[in-house]
Structure 1
Amino acid sequence: MKLYDIIIIGGGPIGLNCALEAQKAGLSYLIIEKGTIVNSLYNYPLYMTFFSTADKLEIAEIPFITTAPKPGRRDALEYYQGITRQKSLNINLYEKVLKVSQDQNFLVETSKATYQAKKVIIATGFYDLPNLMNVKGEDLPKVNHYYSEPYPYAQQKVAVIGSSNSAIDATLETYRKGAEVTMIIRHSEISKSVKYWVKPDIENRIKEGSIAAYFNAEVIEITAHAIIFKDENQKIQTIENDFVLAMTGYLPDFEFLKNAGIELIGDCLNPLYNEQTMETNVPGLYLAGVVCGGKDTHLWFIENSRIHAEIIVKHILASSN
């Protein structure tokens, strides 16, 4: 069995950046990705526009060129998948990592094989597991935790749960394709993190009554033909409904991290790692990217976690001398 210097779990932008740093340092590496290249970006809404400008999404100082002021999903797919081809990155696709264990070296067991490495970097992001509401009816076919495009919801009664960027995009797009949209928001206002050029649009649609919005509301149950929730006055509301878009956020795979031996701390289940090296409490096991934030998935993103790759590879090189 080949012994790699590094195995990188996750082929998103930060995982690719780790591979580029390893390649530059002359280290042998393998990326293992459960889907396609930058799989999470592939599963983003089809017409999504990034908050960041293109230069903030660049990795390895490779220019991200786009004519739009802010790149969209397709631009990002072309950029990151193009880098993977151009740099001939060593990546296994559609191979899910099941377990990371340690003997003399690390053993990484996947759905297809077992690999051996001196060091492991987990760069799995957080888009895999929906943050469930745990209400009756959440598992009905009409409920979706992922949104791709508005066309299936034309002329339908749609409830959108949440008030972050994904919820606002879903609300506005489905509304403009003829859906009757109701927003159910557990906070008192639209999230402050919503893209600044979109926020006035949703606020004006709510103000004019084109889109119904219930603030300080809590979903109680979802049925085949309705959604039941408690409004800000604690009154039970039942609204006729065809589809529910539960844009309640996503979480890292905490069970996978725990099984790898990583200690999780506090209510946010923050993984324990050294901020100077990105090494976890398991020697030789590193974290990179948004997975570092635990439940606080807004703490890290591409723009501010690109540096993790350089930090990790620098520490690996220093510790091997």
Structure 2
Amino acid sequence: RIKPWVLPPFKSLVEKGRITVFFNTVVQAILPDAVDLDVAGEPRRVPNDFVFALVGFRPDHKLARRLGVPIDPATGEPVHDPETMATPVPGVYLAGVVAAGYDANKIFIENGRWHGQRIVDHILKNRRGEA
């Protein structure tokens, strides 16, 4: 479900072609410069720079595990640096409530909205050799 206040800007970005939406889609592989998808049974490769996995309030650890991100069995938290949101897997970051593991009351819009900025800052610092 999409939050009511997110829907108007989201629809606008889709209509302008700034966001491409794939329904009935399963991620098959995340590559350095593309994502392999199964779109309604048809394979499709989509070029990309970054992948942000947004899985909602109940974390689905399948993708994190497939990427090699360790999960704390007690808390359900994927191992990550809360300052950068980086996981131990190079190039894999967490954003949103998935970083909270099983505690859906730990990260909200108010404190989770900064995750994207932390991720971008870390990526840029890495590119400049500062991290």
For this structure pair, what is the TM-score category when the shorter chain's length is used for normalisation?
0.7 to 0.9
1:114 aligned counterpart, secondary structure = strand
2:106 to 299, 303, 313: 299
Q: Which has the larger radius of gyration?
A: 1
Q: What is the rounded CA distance, in whole Å, between the counterparts of 1:106 and 1:260 in structure 2?
A: 15
User: What percent of counterpart residues are identical?
Assistant: 28
Match of 1:84 in 2: 13
Match of 1:123 in 2: 54
Q: Cα deviation per residue 1:74-133 (whole Å; 9 max; x = unaligned)?
A: 4x254442553587533223152423445xx2652222312354543322223xxxxxxx
1:303 aligned counterpart, secondary structure = helix
Q: For the structure 1 residues 299 and 306, does the alpha-carbon distance in structure 2 shift closer, same or farther, using more than 3 Å as the test?
A: same
Q: For the structure 1 residues 106 and 86, does the alpha-carbon distance in structure 2 shift closer, same or farther, using more than 3 Å as the test?
A: closer
Q: What is the rounded CA distance, in whole Å, between the counterparts of 1:261 and 1:310 in structure 2?
A: 24
TM-score (normalised: structure 2):
0.76
TM-score (normalised: structure 1):
0.34
Unaligned 5+ segments in structure 1 are: 1-39, 42-72, 127-250
Q: What is the rounded CA distance, in whole Å, between the counterparts of 1:290 and 1:81 in structure 2?
A: 20
Match of 2:38 in 1: 111
Give the superposed CA RMSD: 2.6
Q: Which has the higher contact order (CA 8 A, sep 6+)?
A: 1
1:98 aligned counterpart, secondary structure = strand
1:92 aligned counterpart, secondary structure = coil
Q: Which amino acid in 2 is paired with 1:110?
A: L
Summarize the alignment of residues 33-182 of structure 1 with structure 2, pairs less than 5 Å apart: 40-41=1-2, 74=4, 76-82=5-11, 84-85=13-14, 88-102=17-31, 105=32, 107-112=34-39, 113-126=44-57
Is the aligned partner of 1:275 residue 2:74?
no
Q: What is the rounded CA distance, in whole Å, between the counterparts of 2:7 and 2:30 in structure 1?
A: 34
Summarize the alignment of residues 237-316 of structure 1 with structure 2, pairs less than 5 Å apart: 251-316=58-123
Q: Which amino acid in 2 is paired with 1:121?
A: F
- Say if 2:14 and 2:20, in contact at 8 Å, map to a contact too: no
Q: For the structure 1 residues 299 and 108, does the alpha-carbon distance in structure 2 shift closer, same or farther, using more than 3 Å as the test?
A: same
Structure number having the greater strand percentage: 1
Q: For the structure 1 residues 315 and 301, does the alpha-carbon distance in structure 2 shift closer, same or farther, using more than 3 Å as the test?
A: same
Runs of 4+ in 1 over 4 A off after TM superposition: 85-88
Q: For the structure 1 residues 305 and 253, does the alpha-carbon distance in structure 2 shift closer, same or farther, using more than 3 Å as the test?
A: same
